[in-house]
Amino acid sequence: MGFPGTWMTESESMVYRVVPKCACSTIGQIMFYSDHGRFFDGDIHDATDGLHKWAIEASQPVITDNVTAHRSYAFTCVRNPYTRILSSFFDKICGIQRNGQRYRGKLVPLLIQKYGIDVGGEDGKAEFDQIASFRRFLLFARDTIRWRRPMDPDIHWSAMSGHVSTFIANGGTYDRIFFTERFNDGMQDVLDHVETAHKVKLDNIPRFNESEGHGPKRAHPVEAYFDDLSMHLVKEMYHRDFELFKYDFDNPANKMPLAEIDLGEVHAKLKD
């Protein structure tokens, strides 16, 4: 199976397992900058050189050799499951993507037809009941994760623990897993453990939020979107994420983790 979703600097200074909706655009640009002294011109997800990626066939043996020998500092980044699934909804379901189209073509029409979701009209700019629509989207996301219907779960709302686990199960070891909510602290710790061709000053790094502006602005606080049933669905989908990454399931208003991540626990529970 290898190491899907894994990026590595060309200098092999660091290895990163991408977790969608968890600051991956910013992290990728920092990695690119650390080697080249400049940012990639465009969305880092579109870069086909300047960074090793598992999706690039020529990079696969280089990544495999490095990760299995644990030659470089390896890390990933996680996010509160409540804010992550909300972000996925506003970006991928309500938003118009970079190519001017809806995400995954027929996905949104399917959701409108089968789940009664409203996305604010053709251009996503009309007023709509965000809370009701989001809760219907949660039913769809649960159906994809639990029963793989009407489609397989998308990487943007499949559980973080699933993304994190493939790296471990195939022979990788994480040196650090940090929180999106404490991004500068976590990313600085990674940079402190590696040598880079170009020094990265995090205070000067813009946030490369490639999804920003795709969809309507969230009109309510996070907790307004989650009633008892919604929380039950979230727990069904993401119970391991809450447990392993120490987020607060009982209070959707609290986006901050409750404790530090235990790397030993993560490796032990996700290795199979």
Averaged confidence pLDDT in the chain: 94
Give the C-alpha separation, 29 to 26, whole Å. Answer: 5
pLDDT digits (tens, 9 = 90+) for 145-174: 999 999 999 999 999 999 999 999 999 999
**What DSSP line would sit under 116-176, residue for residue?**
----SSTTS-S---HHHHHHHHHHHHHHHHHH--SSPPPTTTS-HHHHHHHHHHTT---SE
Q: Is the pTM of this model over 0.85?
A: yes
Encode the chain (272 residues) as per-residue pLDDT tens digits: 799 999 999 999 999 999 999 999 999 999 999 999 999 999 999 999 999 999 999 999 999 999 999 999 999 999 999 999 999 999 999 988 878 888 998 899 999 999 999 998 877 778 899 999 999 999 999 999 999 999 999 999 999 999 999 999 999 999 999 999 999 999 999 999 999 999 999 998 888 876 556 678 899 999 999 999 999 999 999 999 999 999 999 999 999 999 999 999 999 999 98
Give the C-alpha separation, 66 to 173, whole Å. Answer: 11
Q: Nearest-CA neighbor of 162 among 9, 7, 18?
A: 18
- Strand-by-strand arrangement of the 6-9 sheet: 51-53, 6-9, 14-17, 73-78, 176-179
β-strand partners of 8: 15, 52
In angstroms, what CA-CA distances link 54 with 51, 76, 265? 10, 15, 26
Give the CA count within 13 Å in the CB-facing half-sphere of 1. Answer: 13
pLDDT digits (tens, 9 = 90+) for 87-116: 999 999 998 887 888 899 889 999 999 999
Q: Domain extents for the chain? A: 1-95+155-216+238-272
Phi, psi of 52 (to 5 degrees): -75, 135
- DSSP annotation of 25: H
pLDDT digits (tens, 9 = 90+) for 43-57: 999 999 999 999 999
